[in-house]
Structure formats: C-alpha cells, structure tokens
Amino acid sequence: MFQVLVALADGEKHGYAIIKEVARRSEGKVRLLPGTLYAIIKRFVAEGFILESFDRPGPDLDDERRRYYRLTDRGRAVAVAEADRLEETLLQARAKLSVKRA
C-alpha cells in the first residue's frame, strides 16, 4: 500500500502506470496485480489519501478508459509518516543486529 502512495508522489498516474512504477522502483521485487491495486485504490479514495483526477491528456495521448489518480495532502502526510516509521524501524533493527553500513 505504501508503494502506491510513493508511486503517486511525483504526479498523477493511471493504474497501469502505478503498477509499472512500483515494479521499476522495486527492481521487480514488488509486483502489483490489477485486482490488488484497484482494491487499494478504492480504499485510499474512501480514506481521502488519493483522488481520481479528471484532468486528461489530449485524446491522441490517452485511452479514454483510463482513470488517473493523484495524491492528496493527507495521502502525502501519511506516506511521509510511514517513510519515517520505516526508517526508524530500520535503524533500530540495524542497531540491534549490529549491522554496519558504509
């Protein structure tokens, strides 16, 4: 779910673009299936983390069936808080496990 918020952090995307962005950024380690993505999108819209955007590219650059989504201010705040939480968890784990990073 965090990956979807991060994928939208740099601008609006349609579902397939979100799937591709998550796969690219994770070097293929995270692969979202369409059903999973659209369940996340439905939840995030309901919670106010993302909005469907009605701004469209020109018809020659777009497929009219696509829906575009963007991060809300609330969604950005949630993503930042989660990134901070993950960073703190990672620091604690490395300290406990005595893992040194260069």
The domains found in the chain, sorted by start residue, are: 2-97 (1.10.10.10)
Q: What is the pLDDT along the chain (102 residues), one digit of tens a residue?
A: 999 999 999 999 999 999 999 999 999 999 999 999 999 999 999 999 999 987 766 556 666 667 899 999 999 999 999 999 999 999 999 888 886 665
Q: Nearest 5°: phi and psi at 14?
A: -90, 170
Q: How many Cα atoms within 13 Å fall on the side-chain side of residue 62?
A: 14
The Cα angle at residue 33 between residues 10 and 20, in degrees rounded to 5: 35
Global confidence as pTM: 0.81
The sign of the dihedral angle between the CA atoms of 67, 20, 4, 31 is positive
